Amino acid sequence: MDITALLIEAAWLMATGMVVVFVFLLILIGALRLMSYIFADTEQAQANQQASATTTHHSKRPSKAHIAAIAAAVHQYKKQ
């Protein structure tokens, strides 16, 4: 084999490898977009449930034990 044939074979091998990687990346991007489309509704529903759970939790008043503990901590801090 002469150098020209070797260079042509190397270019062909390089081009084949680049096409394989490019196609793999396209498939990967397509799969990620498909998964984000499929699971977007599920994630949004979970976020809404968590938001409603935290807003109802935070709308309650703190217990008397928490208020007493905070008052004791403030009193001790001012004492120093």
Token pair listed for 20: 């394989």
Determine the 3-state secondary structure of 63 from DSSP. Answer: coil
**14 vs 55, more confident:** 14
9-54 residue pLDDT tens: 999 999 999 999 999 999 999 999 999 888 887 777 777 777 766 6
End-to-end CA distance of the chain: 90
Output the pLDDT for position 75: 93
Q: Can you list the alpha helix ranges (DSSP code H) found in the chain?
A: 3-58, 64-79
Place of tokens 């270019």: 11
Can you give the residue ranges of every domain in the chain? 3-79
